[in-house]
């Protein structure tokens, strides 16, 4: 398949966007979605995309950036292996941290989130101690994020520990879904604001691509990639209301934005640049469209990826796993403009 993506254009635009957002804060917590080591999905739907682009971005930011790895105590306690690795979340986290360090990335520590004395999380904590890793443990806040009173009560953000990091940019990543990246970011921003440090939050996810049409095959391919967790691509209603512009986002960020805005305002409602976030799209920094140089080829590659996902999920379902996923995939297949 012909090259359809310029890594040079993309990396230049993406780094510029990151540095521009960094200049709004003394310290920027940056939630990095997807795989840092190797983004196979992106390389399949954007022919020519270097699957190690995220590593290149981190390296290009030099000593300004450090990585924190998040693990959810709740997800870890389920005891399931992740993806096709055969590894539990704690094992996968340590493995990926080692591999990132081999690449020269500063993995500064770990955050075990939503902890309520889960046995597997306690075992992981002991392992981190043995390895002399830096880590913090954040506790579950009852009713988070909807119960604002609890979020800012004595057992809320105020009770969470601070992982003090000297770097200006903290890239927050993790294995698996629901690992508490945003919770970690907001709790740390709250702690730093207590000391008068202007910390902020932003998101970096390659998909969906916010400034492509909602029915573009690359955005539908994102839905296919996340069919097992039922993500849905939607028009961001907050962005539309604020700017009159159609922007594509996904359901979880849209559903959580109203409460997130309230939390941000309570952290620092007067001076922090985050008060200018009028939509979940505003929180994000995604310059992927800048790298697309052949839209026809991208659409075709995305259609092939959707088919690949469908066949893969079919095999998993036929083994008795996740019937809801196959149902979701059938819905996604109907959205695609298949060539005659």
Question: How does pLDDT run across 298-322, given as a tens digit for each residue?
Answer: 999 999 999 999 998 888 765 556 7
| Closest residue by Cα to residue 312 from 41, 39, 34 | 41
| Closest residue by Cα to residue 92 from 36, 46, 141 | 36
pLDDT at 83: 63
Kindly report, residue by residue over 69-80, the tens digit of the pLDDT: 999 999 999 887
**32 token code pair:** 């990095």
- Burial class from Cβ neighbours inside 10 Å (0-12, 13-18, 19+) for residue 142 reads exposed
Is residue 90 pLDDT above 80, yes or no? yes
Kindly report, residue by residue over 120-171, the tens digit of the pLDDT: 999 999 999 999 999 999 999 999 999 999 999 999 999 999 999 999 999 9
Q: Please, which pLDDT band fits residue 110 given cuts at 50, 70 and 90? A: very high
Q: Please, which pLDDT band fits residue 1 given cuts at 50, 70 and 90? A: low
CATH, range 7-333: 3.10.630.10
Where are the chain's structural domains? 7-333
Q: Please, which pLDDT band fits residue 20 given cuts at 50, 70 and 90? A: very high
H helical segments located in 226-322: 237-243, 251-267, 280-283, 288-291, 295-318
pLDDT at 99: 95
Taking the C-alpha atoms of residue 101 and residue 226, their distance in angstroms, rounded to an integer, is 28
Is residue 327 pLDDT above 70, yes or no? yes
> pTM score, two decimals?
0.92
Neighbours of 324 (CB within 10 A): 11
Q: Which residues pair with 109 in a beta bridge?
A: 68
pLDDT at 175: 74
Under a CB-based contact definition with an 8 Å cutoff, are residues 100 and 72 in contact?
A: no
- Burial class from Cβ neighbours inside 10 Å (0-12, 13-18, 19+) for residue 240 reads middle
């Amino acid at each position: 398949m012909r090259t359809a993506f310029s890594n040079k254009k993309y990396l230049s635009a993406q780094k510029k966007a990151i540095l521009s957002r960094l200049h709004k804060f003394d310290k920027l917590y940056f939630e990095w979605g997807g795989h840092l080591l190797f983004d196979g999905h992106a390389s399949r739907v954007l022919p020519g995309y270097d699957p190690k682009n995220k590593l290149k971005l981190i390296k290009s930011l030099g000593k300004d950036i450090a990585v924190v790895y998040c693990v959810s105590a709740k997800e870890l306690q389920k005891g399931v292996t992740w993806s096709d690795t055969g590894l539990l979340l704690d094992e996968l986290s340590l493995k990926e941290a080692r591999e990132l360090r081999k690449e020269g990335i500063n993995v500064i520590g770990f955050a075990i989130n939503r902890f309520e004395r889960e046995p597997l999380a306690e075992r992981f904590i002991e392992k981190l101690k043995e390895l002399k890793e830096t880590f913090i443990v954040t506790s579950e806040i009852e009713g988070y994020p909807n119960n604002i009173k609890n979020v800012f009560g004595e057992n809320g953000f105020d009770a969470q520990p601070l992982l003090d990091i000297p770097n200006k940019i903290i890239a927050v990543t993790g294995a698996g879904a629901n690992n508490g990246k945003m919770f970690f970011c907001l709790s740390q921003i709250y702690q730093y604001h207590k000391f008068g440090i202007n910390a902020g939050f932003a998101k970096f996810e390659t998909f969906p691509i916010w400034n492509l049409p909602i029915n573009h095959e690359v955005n539908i391919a994102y839905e296919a990639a996340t069919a097992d967790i039922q993500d849905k691509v939607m028009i961001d209603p907050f962005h539309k209301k604020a700017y009159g512009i159609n922007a594509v986002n996904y359901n979880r960020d849209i559903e959580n934005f109203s409460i997130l805005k309230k939390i941000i305002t309570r952290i620092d409602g007067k001076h922090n640049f985050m008060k200018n976030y009028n939509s979940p799209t505003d929180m994000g920094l995604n310059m992927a469209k800048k790298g697309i140089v052949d839209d026809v080829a991208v659409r075709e590659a995305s259609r092939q990826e959707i088919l690949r996902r469908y066949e893969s999920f079919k095999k998993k379902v036929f083994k008795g796993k996740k019937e809801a996923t196959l149902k979701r995939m059938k819905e996604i297949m109907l959205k695609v403009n298949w060539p005659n």
